[in-house]
């Protein structure tokens, strides 16, 4: 047999463009719309944005290339692809632990991702009802929730949180759509979803940004996002938040990019596609900031609202703006599209592994894992009411007050994704066969040298340092 054969029945994207679109769909998600503005808002704006861009270019992009090449070389599930490259490099297949950590982390992320996406579905419902009301009252261009006070609007989220049955129902709905797409397959499900949803997403995002620029306080948003406060940027918490966000936003950490890379064809230039994916994802995060903050500043609200920014601050801001009823609905539809193309990639990681390992059909694997993800996700969904008092990690420093939701989010984001990324960088930079790896990158000359330096030295050192600082902030006083 040749040195590099696909596992039997291995699916492929129908083109390089389809791969880029699907991988961008994985990268662009709630991480860009909900987490990036939240993190930028609570970490001082410009300082965070600058560090974030540095983390993307110097650490995340080289890792994105490393992950996609593991997948493309292996043409198997994430775990088997990593083991395959290790064996071909005459190294221990134990290196596939990077993908095992990734598989666990990404499946855990999916459990709470579906909960947050459920909130998005809820706001689509309330915005749609509001718009129908506005249209029938003959005022389609009214602000969102025109008949309500700001307090009433900000009450929408607590009201949802107080209703466990509704929360779980919405979470379930989102799990079902995600599973249905993945069950339909790589080409017929994931690729079709990305091909329809991503262009629609980009169109809506641009429309909302133009609206925000015209009606909102665009100058204040630009100043907030692009005026770096260097003192702030040097605080250790800001750096580890920026790196964590870069990992999350680019779907890194031993999972999605290996899985999607495995469906890429041999003639795809992975260095080029990695650059395109990282660029598109960063552009969307910044554009999302330019869509959200002008609206927030226009109505004099604070940018550092935290996770409720998207669900409490924004709806209240749409309230104060002409056309807010329409734009508010469009915004949440856009967020749903983005969330779906990411959640399918999160599920695909374990589905690919289960079908390969246990020889079950994709449909069976997808629905069984969907059920599992839903059940574990209940812990997160109920963290806001029934289980609000539980502190699963009460004895772990730094996590004393974490609910289930916070614990799963924190452990995956602060620990497992960077850990998997660290092992990946060491494996690709030091252990894996140089010739094989270099040949997969599509890089030559200076570009290849630069990438090898970043993946072998900068990535492991920076990720290890930030991992330690993130876990033991007291080290820095
Ligand atoms: N990148 C996705 C987002 O920004 C989330 C994600 C993380 C998807 C990890 C896959 C793997 O929302």
pLDDT digit string, tens, across residues 394-450: 988 778 889 999 999 888 988 899 999 999 999 999 999 999 999 999 999 999 999
Centre of ligand 1 to C-alpha 393, Å, is: 24
pLDDT of residue 143: 92
At 314, the pLDDT band (50, 70, 90 cuts) reads: confident
Centre of ligand 1 to C-alpha 152, Å, is: 32
Q: In 299-416, which residue ranges form alpha helices assigned H by DSSP? A: 314-319, 324-358, 362-381, 404-410
**Which whole number is the average pLDDT over 347-356?**
97
Residue 127 reports pLDDT greater than 60: yes
Centre of ligand 1 to C-alpha 452, Å, is: 25
Q: Which atom of ligand 1 is nearest to the CA of 346?
A: 10
Determine contact, residues 198/192, Cβ cutoff 8 Å: no
Give nearest CA residue, ligand 1 atom 7: 251
Centre of ligand 1 to C-alpha 253, Å, is: 10
Coil, strand, or helix at residue 155?
coil
Centre of ligand 1 to C-alpha 248, Å, is: 5
**Residue in 334, 346, 424 to alter for ligand 1 test, most ligand atoms within 8 A of Cβ:** 346
Q: Which atom of ligand 1 is nearest to the CA of 253?
A: 9
pLDDT of residue 476: 61
pLDDT of residue 427: 98
Residue 4 reports pLDDT greater than 70: no
C-alpha distances out from residue 278 to 79, 265, 385, 437, Å: 23, 20, 37, 20
Give nearest CA residue, ligand 1 atom 11: 251
Centre of ligand 1 to C-alpha 31, Å, is: 6
Centre of ligand 1 to C-alpha 312, Å, is: 23
The count of other CB atoms within 10 Å of the CB of residue 148 is 17
**Residue in 52, 107, 342, 421 to alter for ligand 1 test, most ligand atoms within 8 A of Cβ:** 342
pLDDT of residue 310: 86
Distance CA 77, CA 96 (A): 11
Residue 245 reports pLDDT greater than 80: yes
Determine contact, residues 316/153, Cβ cutoff 8 Å: yes
**Which whole number is the average pLDDT over 345-370?**
97
At 184, the pLDDT band (50, 70, 90 cuts) reads: very high
| Listed range (59-63, 362-366, 385-389) with the worst mean pLDDT | 385-389
Distance CA 345, CA 60 (A): 18
Centre of ligand 1 to C-alpha 15, Å, is: 22
Centre of ligand 1 to C-alpha 135, Å, is: 36
Of the candidates 127, 162, 133, the one whose C-alpha atom is nearest the C-alpha of residue 310 is 127
Percentage of residues in the chain with pLDDT exceeding 70? 96
pLDDT of residue 3: 42
- Mean pLDDT over each residue of the chain, to the nearest integer: 92
pLDDT of residue 7: 54
So what CATH class is 22-476?
Answer: mainly alpha
At 140, the pLDDT band (50, 70, 90 cuts) reads: very high
CA 412 to chain centre: 12
Centre of ligand 1 to C-alpha 407, Å, is: 18
pLDDT of residue 370: 98
pLDDT of residue 232: 73
**Residue in 23, 25, 27 to alter for ligand 1 test, most ligand atoms within 8 A of Cβ:** 27
User: Which residue reads 């297949």 in tokens?
Assistant: 93
pLDDT digits 0-9 by tens, 8-29: 557 899 999 999 999 999 999 9
**Which whole number is the average pLDDT over 104-131?**
96
pLDDT of residue 302: 81
Angle between helices 362-381 and 97-136 (to 10 degrees): 70
Give nearest CA residue, ligand 1 atom 9: 251
Determine contact, residues 420/251, Cβ cutoff 8 Å: no
At 230, the pLDDT band (50, 70, 90 cuts) reads: confident
Percentage of residues in the chain with pLDDT exceeding 90? 74
Give nearest CA residue, ligand 1 atom 10: 251
**Residue in 30, 106, 107, 248 to alter for ligand 1 test, most ligand atoms within 8 A of Cβ:** 248
pLDDT of residue 2: 39
Residues in contact with ligand 1 (CB, 6 Å cut-off): 26-27, 29-32, 106, 109, 248-249, 251, 255-256, 342, 345-346
Length of the chain: 477
pLDDT digits 0-9 by tens, 277-290: 999 999 999 999 99
Residue 383 reports pLDDT greater than 70: yes
DSSP per-residue string spanning 39-62 = HHHHTTTHHHHHHHHHHIIIIIHH
pLDDT of residue 79: 97
Centre of ligand 1 to C-alpha 25, Å, is: 9
Q: Which atom of ligand 1 is nearest to the CA of 29?
A: 12
Distance CA 308, CA 216 (A): 20
| Listed range (156-165, 284-293, 298-307) with the worst mean pLDDT | 298-307
pLDDT of residue 475: 65
């Amino acid at each position: 047999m040749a040195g590099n054969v696909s596992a039997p029945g291995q699916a492929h994207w129908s083109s390089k463009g389809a791969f880029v679109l699907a991988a961008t769909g994985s990268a662009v998600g709630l991480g860009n719309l909900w987490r990036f503005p939240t993190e930028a808002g609570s970490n001082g704006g410009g300082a965070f944005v600058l560090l974030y861009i540095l983390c993307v270019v110097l650490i995340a992009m080289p890792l994105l290339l490393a992950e996609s090449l593991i997948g493309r070389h292996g043409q198997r599930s994430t775990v088997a692809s990593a083991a395959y490259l290790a064996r071909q490099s005459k190294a221990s297949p134990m290196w596939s632990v990077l993908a095992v950590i990734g598989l666990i982390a990404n499946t855990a992320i999916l459990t709470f991702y579906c909960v947050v996406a459920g909130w998005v579905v809820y706001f689509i419902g309330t915005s749609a009802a509001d718009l129908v009301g506005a249209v029938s009252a003959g005022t389609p261009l009214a602000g969102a929730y025109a008949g309500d006070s700001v307090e009433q609007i900000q009450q929408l989220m607590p009201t949802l949180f107080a209703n466990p049955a509704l929360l779980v129902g919405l979470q379930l709905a989102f799990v079902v759509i995600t599973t249905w797409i993945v069950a339909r397959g790589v080409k017929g499900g994931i690729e079709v979803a990305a091909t329809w949803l991503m262009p629609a997403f980009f169109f809506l995002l641009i429309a909302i940004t133009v609206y925000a620029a015209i009606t909102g306080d665009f100058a204040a948003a630009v100043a907030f996002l692009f005026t770096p406060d260097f003192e702030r940027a040097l605080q250790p918490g800001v750096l580890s938040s920026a790196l964590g966000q870069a990992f999350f936003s680019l779907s890194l950490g031993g999972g999605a990019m290996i899985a999607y890379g495995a469906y890429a064809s041999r003639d795809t230039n992975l260095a080029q596609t990695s650059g395109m994916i990282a660029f598109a994802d960063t552009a969307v995060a910044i554009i999302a900031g330019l869509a959200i903050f002008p609206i927030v500043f226009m109505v004099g609200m604070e940018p550092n609202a935290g996770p409720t920014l998207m669900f409490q601050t924004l709806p209240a801001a749409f309230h104060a703006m002409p056309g807010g009823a329409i734009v508010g609905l469009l915004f949440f539809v856009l967020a749903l599209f983005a969330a779906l193309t990411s959640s399918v990639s999160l599920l695909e990681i374990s589905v690919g592994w289960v079908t390969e390992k246990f020889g079950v059909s994709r449909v069976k694997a997808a629905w069984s894992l969907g059920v599992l993800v839903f059940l574990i996700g209940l812990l997160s969904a109920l963290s806001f009411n029934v289980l609000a008092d539980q502190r699963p990690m009460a004895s772990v420093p730094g996590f004393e007050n974490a609910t289930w939701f916070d614990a799963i989010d924190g452990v995956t984001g602060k620990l497992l994704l960077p850990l998997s990324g660290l092992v990946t960088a060491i494996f690709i930079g030091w252990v894996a066969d140089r010739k094989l790896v270099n040949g997969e990158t599509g890089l030559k000359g200076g570009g290849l040298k630069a990438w090898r330096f970043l993946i072998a030295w900068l990535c492991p050192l920076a990720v290890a340092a930030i991992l330690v600082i993130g876990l033991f902030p007291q080290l820095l006083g």
